[in-house]
Chain A
Amino acid sequence: MSAVTATISEDEMDARTKPALRDEGARLGFRLTLPAQILVLFISAFPLLMQLYISVTDWSPLSGLGWWNAWEMWNSFANYTDLAADARFWSALKRTAIVMVVCVPAEFLLGLALATLFADDFPGKRIFYSILLMPMMVVPAVAGYMFFMLFQSGGPVNDILSTITGTPVTIAWLSDPTLALIAVMIADIWQWTPLMFLILLAGLVGVPEDQIKAATLLGANPWQRFTTIVLPKMKTIIIIALAIRVIENFKIFDTLYIMTGGGPGVATETISVYIYKVTTQDLIWGYVAAIALAILIALSIVAVFAMKRMARARQVPA
């Protein structure tokens, strides 16, 4: 009875004091954070607006105009219509998608398998754990050189294959269009599986142990426990891990560029590599701005979709 009265009076007090307090607090908070907000707005909004502005012109640093005068080279959305017809852009986009469709699920499955393994104790766990996390610490450029050397025709990968098969193997990995793409994907999987593993392990150890025990006592076999308890409990963290890797993988550049430079030909040219080439070699910055903006919009849609899914997963019907 006393608890009930206490709640009511607390509510009443809230009703009387809250609106005024809230308004005042909000006003003060707004004023205090205003400088920071302006800075953040400038940092994020200014480049975006500049990009938008340049993307509707033919401006290039070689044009002799300051970027703010780019309106003189206004080309009425020609960059966007060109983009729609740019076969090299679309093939780069397709290649990026292929890399993503192969790498992210491979990293996810490997990471999940390793996380499952590491959720239990086994001898030497700590050492293996450190070794496993090492690829993530390697600077991507260094990883690129490493794999560049590994995949040379006289390199260690071929040496190992020679030993296994017993015949000399001299595959020119990075000169073959298909094999080069495979080599690049292997490097990406090597480098980023540890991140997936780390995130998923955090999710896995967060699954309440007694719920797993309860499922066992109710007769669930290990696979059933995994699919009915562990995976649903990890849903949010899985979505986060996948979202991180999808977005990151879409931007795949450094390792790949050092290994193949996008070649042979354009066989490993992803969106980032394409943008880089157009920026530094062709120097048509108006066009680059249009590509970058189109991709930003596409990625934002993916991110918003993922976040909506996540919010729905966490929502509970009342």
Chain B
Amino acid sequence: MSAIHLKNLVKTFGDFTALKTMDLDIADGEFMALLGPSGCGKSTTMNMIAGMEEPTSGKILFGERDMAGVPMGRRGVGFVFQNYAIFTHMTVRQNLAYGPRMRGAARAEIDRRVGAIAELLQLTPLLDRKADRLSVNILQRVAIGRSAIMEPAIFLLDEPLSNVDAAFRAVMRTELKQLQRQFRQTMVYVTHDQLEAMTMADRIAVMDHGVLQQVGTPLEVYNNPANVFVARFIGAPGMNLIKGRPSESDRGLVVDLGALGVSPPLPDDLASALRGARGDVLYGFRPEQVALAPDGRGLALPVTFVERIGARTIVHLGEGEGAVKAVFDNDVGLAIGQTAIVAPEAASVRLFDASTGRAIRAGG
């Protein structure tokens, strides 16, 4: 087991900067998700940790040990590829035995270790099957087993669930999380799917355009996004953000949302944080933290679309800049064309500086 420290890590490919000064500390035994859209630098970061690519500058430390110049075969890193990269011309047993065999382990030793890992991953009955006709969850287990047999200090997983159909993904997520609990290794998990990151990770590192946006537990990044990007990226649907201007009213500080009207009064702590600031803000709230309100107590918006997905109902309100989504636990009696009065829960309101996109934090 080992912690990972990334210090001032930079990676450029010619003129293109894939990663701009990344600093990240991943604790020993932690499940860290690198989350972001494609091209955000998450895979580059992972490849550098694995040693497949050399950083342009900066350092990667495993515990105290600087990994500069250590070839990928000697880093003690287990890597699960997006398509698992199972050796299809071999049996499951040969796949599992590959690492020890290449390092010249004795035959009896290999058999013992393969037996143990197969038992742990419930692969024993499949050991002599050819690896090219296995279902994805078996492939995932073989891929993990093949790396785990080397007892790596660090496990890296590169979007392992992106080729799996949606129904099966939930099963695989559970299985993966359980495996991580069994192995207790440091795991770095690259994904563009915020649901995967939220459900499995101990902490999430959200990245965009080669820049680390925020690091925190799933609930931290969900509840207190550091900036507009994180607010929009985390959550399905993402946070509602409406441009507005702070203004004083007789009920306290409010945000004037233009055509949408005026927001309910801001909570005291947010109001005091905002008083020093100048200029436009983005008024943000989670679609899940919206309630229908009586007239005059919320934002009046026309209903443009209603998605009923059983347990939840997603209501699309307004259009253009002022578009808002609201998620209700049960069906609501709203139809397209009606006007809904919605009010975000006071405690759930978040404000962002409209010019920098950074969060305006209460008490900060």
Question: Which residues on A are within 8 Å of B, measured CB to CB?
Answer: 208, 210-211, 213-221, 224, 228-229, 232-233, 235, 316-318
- Most A Cβ at <10 Å: residue of B79, B89, B103, B130: B89
Determine if A211 and B133 form an interchain contact, defined as CB atoms under 8 angstroms apart: no
Determine if B98 and A208 form an interchain contact, defined as CB atoms under 8 angstroms apart: no
In the assembled complex, B341 has its CB within 8 A of some CB on chain A: no
Q: Given contact pairs A214-B87, A216-B72, enumerate 8 new A-B contacts (beta carbons under 8 Å).
A: A210-B82, A211-B85, A218-B73, A219-B74, A220-B102, A221-B102, A232-B89, A316-B132
**B89 contacts across to A, CB distance below 8 A:** 232-233, 235
**A215 contacts across to B, CB distance below 8 A:** 87, 98, 102
**Of the residues B73, B78, B82, B130, contact of A316 by C-beta under 8 Å:** B130
8 Å CB interface, B43-96 against A: 50, 52, 72-74, 77-79, 81-83, 85-90
Contacts known (A217-B72, A232-B89); A210 close to B83, Cβ less than 8 A: yes
**Of the residues B77, B87, B150, contact of A211 by C-beta under 8 Å:** B87
In the complex, the 7 A-B pairs of residues with the closest C-beta atoms, listed nearest first: A218-B99, A210-B85, A214-B85, A220-B102, A219-B73, A232-B89, A210-B81
In the assembled complex, B146 has its CB within 8 A of some CB on chain A: yes
| B 219-238 to A, binary, CB cutoff 8 A, 1 in contact else 0 | 00000000000000000000
**A210 contacts across to B, CB distance below 8 A:** 81-83, 85
The CA-CA distance from A219 to B133 in the complex, in Å, is 25
The CA-CA distance from A208 to B84 in the complex, in Å, is 11
- Most B Cβ at <10 Å: residue of A217, A228, A316: A217
Which residue from chain B places its CB closest to the CB of A218 in the assembled complex?
B99
**A233 contacts across to B, CB distance below 8 A:** 89
Contacts known (A218-B146, A316-B130, A317-B130); A213 close to B99, Cβ less than 8 A: no
In the assembled complex, B147 has its CB within 8 A of some CB on chain A: yes
Query: What's the minimum C-beta distance from B296 to chain A, rounded to whole angstroms?
Result: 48
The CA-CA distance from A315 to B85 in the complex, in Å, is 20
Contacts known (A218-B150, A220-B73); A208 close to B85, Cβ less than 8 A: yes
Query: What's the minimum C-beta distance from A145 to chain B, rounded to whole angstroms?
Result: 45
Question: Which residues on B are within 8 Å of A, measured CB to CB?
Answer: 50, 52, 72-74, 77-79, 81-83, 85-90, 98-99, 102-103, 130, 132-133, 146-147, 150
**B82 contacts across to A, CB distance below 8 A:** 210
Query: What's the minimum C-beta distance from B187 to chain A, rounded to whole angstroms?
Result: 15
Query: What's the minimum C-beta distance from A201 to chain B, rounded to whole angstroms?
Result: 20
Ordered by A's residue number, 22 sampled pairs between the chains whose C-beta atoms are within 8 Å are A213-B52, A213-B72, A213-B79, A214-B85, A214-B87, A214-B146, A215-B102, A216-B73, A217-B50, A217-B77, A218-B98, A218-B147, A219-B102, A219-B150, A221-B102, A224-B102, A228-B87, A228-B98, A233-B89, A316-B132, A316-B133, A317-B130
The CA-CA distance from A304 to B74 in the complex, in Å, is 46
The CA-CA distance from A210 to B158 in the complex, in Å, is 12
The CA-CA distance from A235 to B89 in the complex, in Å, is 10
**B78 contacts across to A, CB distance below 8 A:** 217
**A217 contacts across to B, CB distance below 8 A:** 50, 72-73, 77-79, 147
**B146 contacts across to A, CB distance below 8 A:** 214, 218
Query: What's the minimum C-beta distance from B194 to chain A, rounded to whole angstroms?
Result: 25
Query: What's the minimum C-beta distance from B264 to chain A, rounded to whole angstroms?
Result: 46
Judged by DSSP, the binding face of A is helix
The CA-CA distance from A269 to B119 in the complex, in Å, is 64
Determine if A214 and B79 form an interchain contact, defined as CB atoms under 8 angstroms apart: yes
**A213 contacts across to B, CB distance below 8 A:** 52, 72, 79, 81, 85
The CA-CA distance from A224 to B103 in the complex, in Å, is 10
Which residue from chain A places its CB closest to the CB of B133 in the assembled complex?
A316
**A232 contacts across to B, CB distance below 8 A:** 89-90
**B150 contacts across to A, CB distance below 8 A:** 218-219
The CA-CA distance from A216 to B52 in the complex, in Å, is 10
**A235 contacts across to B, CB distance below 8 A:** 89
The CA-CA distance from A235 to B72 in the complex, in Å, is 27
The CA-CA distance from A208 to B87 in the complex, in Å, is 9
**A218 contacts across to B, CB distance below 8 A:** 73, 98-99, 102, 146-147, 150
**A216 contacts across to B, CB distance below 8 A:** 72-73
The CA-CA distance from A217 to B81 in the complex, in Å, is 11
**A224 contacts across to B, CB distance below 8 A:** 102
**B72 contacts across to A, CB distance below 8 A:** 213, 216-217
The CA-CA distance from A213 to B75 in the complex, in Å, is 14
Query: What's the minimum C-beta distance from A126 to chain B, rounded to whole angstroms?
Result: 20
- Most B Cβ at <10 Å: residue of A213, A216, A219, A220: A219
**B83 contacts across to A, CB distance below 8 A:** 210
Which residue from chain A places its CB closest to the CB of B131 in the assembled complex?
A316
Query: What's the minimum C-beta distance from A59 to chain B, rounded to whole angstroms?
Result: 53
**A220 contacts across to B, CB distance below 8 A:** 73, 98, 102
Query: What's the minimum C-beta distance from A316 to chain B, rounded to whole angstroms?
Result: 5
The CA-CA distance from A208 to B88 in the complex, in Å, is 10
The CA-CA distance from A208 to B133 in the complex, in Å, is 17
Query: What's the minimum C-beta distance from A27 to chain B, rounded to whole angstroms?
Result: 36
Which residue from chain B places its CB closest to the CB of A231 in the assembled complex?
B89
**B103 contacts across to A, CB distance below 8 A:** 219
**B99 contacts across to A, CB distance below 8 A:** 218-219
Which residue from chain B places its CB closest to the CB of A210 in the assembled complex?
B85
Query: What's the minimum C-beta distance from B91 to chain A, rounded to whole angstroms?
Result: 9
The CA-CA distance from A247 to B79 in the complex, in Å, is 44
**A229 contacts across to B, CB distance below 8 A:** 87
Which residue from chain B places its CB closest to the CB of A220 in the assembled complex?
B102
The CA-CA distance from A220 to B101 in the complex, in Å, is 9
The CA-CA distance from A235 to B90 in the complex, in Å, is 13
The CA-CA distance from A235 to B56 in the complex, in Å, is 39
Query: What's the minimum C-beta distance from A18 to chain B, rounded to whole angstroms?
Result: 25
The CA-CA distance from A186 to B248 in the complex, in Å, is 94
- Most A Cβ at <10 Å: residue of B74, B81, B83: B81
**B88 contacts across to A, CB distance below 8 A:** 211
The CA-CA distance from A221 to B150 in the complex, in Å, is 16
- Most B Cβ at <10 Å: residue of A210, A232, A318: A210
